[in-house]
Chain A
């Protein structure tokens, strides 16, 4: 076995074999093809729920992820997990994401949850609205529970949408603004997977326009996203 070569910065004594196996597999996957056309291949839309809006101090409660493959959202290609919390977040916070105290304390073992997340996303590029927040939350959690530095290319729809529709750029800022403008129906907001679904619909609308904003390939599209410059060095 080559496990001694895995560059875990901190050895995690508690890492189960199942988790270690998933992480190993994930690290062995080839990087996505940056030269493929932007509208083809798989993107993974990600959204997180946390105990607050402080990316540095609040904790990660849930992750949702949804695959967009060859320009289609595949509802079955989706992922949702709640990470077990030592103590539930406060009531105001629960009202935001609707994940109750018991759900939080009876959630998945965080290491296993994160490993399963890695298994789901593979090495495909990630997508989020206001990606730095999601990226930071996940990076911190992986660092804490899996013990390595998680760095992936992120496409931030909040950066790309104004490029694709410049005439809206000055007026629209939040996700809700864009959803309203494009009449994207929102069944329930602030559940991670539901936010993935609406963000994914924005992505579907962006992809056919990628070439016209100067991004013929997925790699170029990721590069266009400002946030990618400091998030995707890994």
Chain B
């Protein structure tokens, strides 16, 4: 209508409003102001339909200035009022605008709502000049996921109330500057400072000011009071040396995992190698009923199967609580895996008290999802033993000794909520309690003979990880696998052909096609596609990573998959894992179907159903990529 520019004040003020939200916060000032200068502002009274399939070809982007917009399938009256709601800063309908088509959804104002409207011409200009805006608009999945996660948090908000999400960086959780003393200080000086400053820990430094240790309230009790140590001794003698240190950008979830895995109660936080604070477990889980570190300790201290089973149940509860906080699936499964690893380790230690096998020098391996660190809340056990070949030792005799021990471990794990494997892929099975040489033979045999059974085994056993014992035994196995598999294109091709047999349940028109009762099996029909494809791509590229996300991340650059494509595939996979976790959670609370991995897509809210559809497309894309590589 006119080519006038708004006054700079108006543009700047509008840009400031937008800058509170992604992706505008990441855009360069000039790009954001170019966007802002082209905006119109519209008002939609409560219950007004903003856009629907009847609106025709979409020629503008809507950005919610303030209010709430419900996204609905036009064919139904949506009952999902929580997720699927767009609020301040959210953009829509990006997909339809980019494609220049009508929207398939209906957007309705949940309350009085103001939206900025950006016309197509300006939208394309901003897309062209701002890489951040471009990435945001084209990586729709990531944006949708962020909205979904927020929905999850809201839906669970009665069960968990922690403002700090687990994806926030450690920097945000620091409550005060670190308090330090030289390590030559006396215990008394340290205690006096702790008392006067009312703090629970003090960082000790060397002459150069570098942290060398930490001394905490618990240490007062254990190492000073109970140990009857005089207070004039240097604190260096009682502090914990070499405290765990993480950069300030680390996600809280990652710090939480480290604490869970290693049993730390405090972590030092540094920014460019400068100490900026100390994070305690209580900072991370201040409001949470269950203490992660306490849980880790309970597991490590469990003296009976019953005690261990109790702790394992709490792991699941904590997993549920984290799910409620909207923790991303990748971090959540890693975290659950870390605690499950601890349960397994303790089960092994308990069994070793009854069986004299410590001297053999075995390594206990986790396989399948446990090997990949992708356990959900309901996972069968898949495990095996590898033991060293020693001259003059009878393998059979060693195996006999180990089997009784392994049987006890397997039964303990069963009692802890990891059901015995129906396919008998467990260390107590003589076929999977092998010496290193026997394992190498087995691997070699599978790679050479790519028959159906070998392929099935490869899909479980090639996702292996050392859980307890001598990890070098397992390292050699991996070296062997990576060296040999790439010389066996026939084997990889067979694996690819096998992986191509499961098609993601997508219809001709991109709709989700349910099987019996309209349901789909998230594990068999979706997750497995990602897992199989990632395994094939990484093995072919000689990448040793085991988790699906790590495999894709490490392999992507070598096979010319763009970072965006890799990130989108991982997002899609993690979303499906998240749906599985949620389904299992509702099953535990008696609300789901009887099969933990089956869901009815119609039971999902609109937003999640869209993301699932997009995830299925991503699965198919990855599968097509593998198919092309092997000319299937």
Q: Chain A: residues with CB nearer than 8 A to chain B?
A: 64, 69, 71-80, 182-183, 185, 187-188, 191, 193-194, 197, 200-201, 204-205, 207-208
Contacts and interface: CB of A to CB of B under 8 A. Distances in A.
A23 B4 CA distance: 20
A69 B41 CA distance: 10
10 contacts: A71-B42, A71-B43, A72-B40, A74-B1, A75-B38, A75-B39, A78-B4, A80-B7, A205-B112, A208-B45
B146 interface: no
B491 interface: no
Given A72-B41, A204-B43, 12 more contacts: A71-B43, A75-B14, A75-B39, A78-B7, A187-B13, A187-B17, A188-B9, A193-B10, A194-B13, A200-B41, A204-B41, A204-B114
A79 B10 CA distance: 10
A194 B7 CA distance: 10
Contacts of B17: 185, 187
A200 B65 CA distance: 15
B5 interface: yes
Interface string B6-48: 1101110110110000000000000000001111111101001
A100 to B, nearest CB: 14
Which of the listed residues A76, A80, A191 has the most CB atoms from chain B within 10 Å of its own CB?
A: A76
Contacts of A193: 7, 9-10
A197 B42 CA distance: 12
B9 A185 contact: no
Contacts of A79: 4
Nearest to A187: B13
A78 B1 contact: no
B486 interface: no
A162 to B, nearest CB: 18
Nearest to A75: B6
Contact of B43 (A75, A80, A185, A208): A208
B66 interface: yes
A204 B9 CA distance: 21
A79 B39 CA distance: 15
Contact of B40 (A75, A187, A194, A207): A75
A74 B13 contact: no
B43 A201 contact: yes
Nearest to B42: A72
Contact of B4 (A69, A77, A201): A77
A191 B9 contact: yes
B631 interface: no
Given A188-B9, A193-B10, A194-B9, A201 B112 contact: no
Nearest to A208: B45
Contact of B117 (A72, A182, A208): A72
Contacts of A197: 10, 13
Closest 3 CB pairs of A and B: A204-B43, A187-B13, A73-B41
B2 interface: yes
A231 B114 CA distance: 31
B514 to A, nearest CB: 41
Which of the listed residues B36, B41, B66, B117 has the most CB atoms from chain A within 10 Å of its own CB?
A: B41
A194 B42 contact: no
Contacts of B66: 183, 185
A64 B3 CA distance: 18
B9 A75 contact: no
A205 B109 CA distance: 14
B36 A75 contact: yes
B108 to A, nearest CB: 15
Contacts of B39: 75
B114 A187 contact: no
A222 B41 CA distance: 22
